[in-house]
Amino acid sequence: MPVNDEPQPSDAMVQIASGAAKVLVVEDEETLLFALAHNLRHEGYTVVTASRGDDALKLARETRPDLVVLDVMLPGVDGMQVCRLLRRDTAIPIIMLTALGGEGDRVAGLDTGADDYVPKPFGMRELLARVRALLRRTAPRDEAEAGPAVVRSGDIEIDRVRREVRRDGTALKLKPKEFELLLFFVRHPGRVFSREQILDEVWGYDFYGGPRTVDVHVRWLRQKVERDPAEPVRIRTVRGSGYIFEG
Ligand code: CA
């Protein structure tokens, strides 16, 4: 006789529910590092910490975290450089922390391949919400929900599972957000989207970068998918409205 016939959640669900992901926190301010580590552990994450950029790179290689919370100003190797080096060979989600506030700095942060950018000072609850959101967005999705593994548009082929893009059979190097933006466009050809709609759909929640973030990523993407980025025919600007992807 079954003792318990309640449906049991799968291992993957248990992991998401208990937040058992591993987070690497890199911050040289001792008090903040302690607070971040303490709060993340309280949420159920496994936490590894580093207070120098060079140590962070070593730890990332050794412990293979699921997400990195990364301060910009660090001794050893600075956060921007750490981000660039991590991005060179992984798609690991990265949230950057910084005291710098100007848009130029935000764009520089995104240019290094960070997925999110949280200016200091920030509330711990907000940071935890962003960690959760980013892990949710980057977690492998249910196949049926996500659609076919390979999506095609003209000479562009996107392999969603391997996160690879080819044009005319040649592999393109895309940053994680460029990849998601292209996938979004290819799945919605012939429709005009405002920058705000694109932010909602691709970035998924209130993002500090603002609508210009979309313009920056569209510009980068055009460099890679347009024959002539100066005269784009795929991702066209609709003046006063936003962007449209011509299939
Ligand atoms: Ca610092």
The CATH number for 33's domain is 3.40.50.2300
Same domain, 149 and 114: no
Same domain, 32 and 131: yes
pLDDT of residue 1 exceeding 60: no
Residue 73 C-alpha to ligand 1 middle, in angstroms? 4
Same domain, 115 and 161: no
Residue 7 maps to a domain: no
Residue 210 sits in a domain of what CATH number?
Answer: 1.10.10.10
Same domain, 64 and 171: no
Name the domain boundary from 138, 173, 196.
138
Segment 226-244 shows an average pLDDT of 93
Residue 130 C-alpha to ligand 1 middle, in angstroms? 20
Residue 9 maps to a domain: no
Same domain, 127 and 162: no
Residue 105 C-alpha to ligand 1 middle, in angstroms? 15
pLDDT tens digits, residue range 79-128?
999 998 888 767 789 999 987 555 556 666 666 778 888 888 899 999 99
Residue 5 maps to a domain: no
Name the domain boundary from 138, 165, 193.
138
Q: How much is the pTM?
A: 0.54
Residue 73 maps to a domain: yes
Domain that holds residue 180: 143-245
pLDDT above 90: percentage of residues in the chain: 48
Number of domains in the chain: 2
Identify the pLDDT of residue 109.
62
Same domain, 147 and 134: no
Residue 75 C-alpha to ligand 1 middle, in angstroms? 8
Residue 79 C-alpha to ligand 1 middle, in angstroms? 9
User: What DSSP line would sit under the chain, residue for residue?
Assistant: --S--SPPPPHHHHHHHHT--EEEEE-S-HHHHHHHHHHHHHTT-EEEEESSHHHHHHHHHHH--SEEEEESS-SSS-HHHHHHHHHHH----EEEEES--SHHHHHHHHHTT-SEEEESS--HHHHHHHHHHHHHHHSPPPHHHH--SEEEETTEEEETTTTEEEETTEEE---HHHHHHHHHHHHSTT-EE-HHHHIIIII-S--TT-THHHHHHHHHHHHHH-SSTTS-SSEEEETTTEEEE--
Same domain, 50 and 153: no
Same domain, 52 and 129: yes
Residues that place a CB less than 5 A from ion ligand 1: 28, 71, 73
